[in-house]
Structure 1
Amino acid sequence: MNCRTMSRSLAVASLLSLTVAPPLSAQEAKLPPLPRNAKLAFEEDWSSGKIDPKRWYNPRKKWGQGNHGVSPENVRIERDQVAGKQKHVLVCQANGDLYDGPVTGYEGQRTRVGGIVVTQEFFASGRYEVVMKIGGTGKQEGGPEDPTRPKGAVPAVWTYGYRYVSVPKEGMDAFHASEPLYNPHMKAYGEGANEYWTELDFPEFGKGGDFNKALYNTFLQNKHQPRTFDVKPMIDGQYHTLTTEWRTKLVPIEGVSDAQVAEKGGYHWVQDRAIPFNRYFGNPLKRLGKNKYAVYAGDRVDHYLDGRKVAENLTFVPSMAAQLTMGVWLPGWGGPAPWKQATTSFASVKVWQFGDEGDVRGIITENIDDNY
């Protein structure tokens, strides 16, 4: 990964054109049963009292504006009441505008520093279940005025994967047989660079200090759909269960010949401008037979809060496997954080994998890099 391009910084501008979603229909769908082929691929409750480095890593990362990044020193294991039982939980601390403690972030700054954890493993289509709590019910010394709404902080759960591809700048308007992943329709930074970007936010809380609505975003290469949905039942300082189901599919693409693609990494990549970009959005193709192809594509994402459907994304859904990321950060678009510290806690995580035919694995493989 190129350190300048943990591309959530680009999301800030995109959020200015946020799609405010209408209320869901009266159906109020409940969480469906797991598909028969679903496999429990990952399970964590920190019962060991430790963060297993074989399963998780903690970035020391600055991205976006108006903050000083995330620090491993803001991530720890504590004991808490979860569903009436004392359990180990993962705690991610946010250091606000008034913080004067020992933890420092980017350029040695102490304020507006968060903490996140990331799975070592990459996941694709499946069910993601995260039990989390924002803040708490009791006001803490140095904490937010309303402990259930740490205004200025952005607690979040998301999948994220990134790959940077480049060719010489003088050749940025063409395809390249030596680098089949480069696509001139995806030029970034005014040079011969592409960003392969897979992300689902489910969700990010606290834009502009508003915790009643949350951001459910999709990122597919250079395409992005931001949506907001009501999550007010989550904002009570108690543990709740966030569940997201991510589906992918193969979509037949007519009129593509063997001469118009190139193979790399076990996938086929478009090499001809004559194939409209909006038919594949930079995704790879699967060869079905001579001159016959289908696109690996995201299908839909459905989001549930305590078993009740609250949100969905149907546009620009990615298909490439990504790492599950959780924690809290303090971007400028979260607004002022007039307190010293606040926390977001995680009681458990489960990931089932569906193995949908549209999954793309092994193309994005790098961890988030530290940059301070």
Structure 2
Amino acid sequence: MLVMLTAVVSGCRKQTTVSTPRHAPSGFVTTTAYATKVSKQRRVKLAAFIKRGLLTKQGLYTNYLDTRKRTTATATGHEMLSESSGMWLQYLVTTRQWAQFRQFYRQTKATFNENGLFSYRYDPRTKKRYAVNATLDDLRIIRALLTYDQAHHTNHYRQEATQRYQNLVNTTIKDGHLVDYYDVHARKATTTGSLAYFDLRTLKYFEQDTKKGRSAYKKQLIVLKGGYLGDVFPLYAKSYQWTTSQYSDGNLNTSEALETLLHLAEVGHLKATSRRWLIQRVTHRDLANGYTTRGTVSVGGESAANYALAASIFATLGDEKHYQVAMNNVWRLQVQQDSSPINGGIGDAKTKQVYSYSNLTALNAAFN
């Protein structure tokens, strides 16, 4: 059996153990090659900016410009996110930079490891590592490890990826109930699961070969598909509350909404209605940054990250035409001013406001 789940007692808490999968990871390596000559030139400039303006030995800055005062709610300035490190690992493995991948993963653990989970946020100024993880960020790093083994034809990280997944099973994916985060100091998890966090392809790899695992995956897929808002506005609810079996009616962050669509597309469950809606948005260049559950715009403006996520969805579907349309929208928002310190990056040339998430999402989409 690939995954053997058994209960062991550690103090008063039952711990679940997950055995290392015998089967090699598959389906994690990008198989399309849709990038045009122009796109290849643009991504070289984008990667150069990220290395120049965001990348450090410890991780990647959240913003190009630092902030004097930090905020509790969100990372700013030169704070670092495990999200960004996971995305950089994805880039390194896609571009087959094996030694750099191994080194950066070692550093990612040194920067973010917190009781077997990856802290979602680190401040190099104060050396503060936050006590909570973000389940999607852990899964993204685990996925990068699996991608490395598939692409490099090794078993180098399979055991470590399994251990990391096991840590999630005992904190944020207990009994298959995927939730957003676990506080390692309070030793308590939230009971809400953002639908964007359900990385079905990665979950399925660990859950597919045992009865208990398959049951967990089936429930996760049911929960995700159950968040569908309807054919009029064919996106999905923001989150699911496991204790009440209720979906949130809160406004949607478009990046999270598109992550949900991408995860569904990767396992063959993206609805045709969702695909058509996304085609309309990228074609009309009106993919807004936020929506109500009824489909009205709640946050205006557009983001390169959202167009990049759309491109990744189209690449997953084998839709080269609309992949190109989406990527053209990404490059439309790239800074092309040789005199600018953020030349090649995704951001505002005037204010020098740059977000790591937009740049890294665009970079990875450019390699589909």
Q: Which has the higher contact order (CA 8 A, sep 6+)?
A: 1
Asked if TM exceeds 0.5, the reply is no
From the CA coordinates, give the structure whose radius of gyration is larger. Answer: 1
Q: Which has the higher strand share?
A: 1
TM-score (norm 2): 0.27
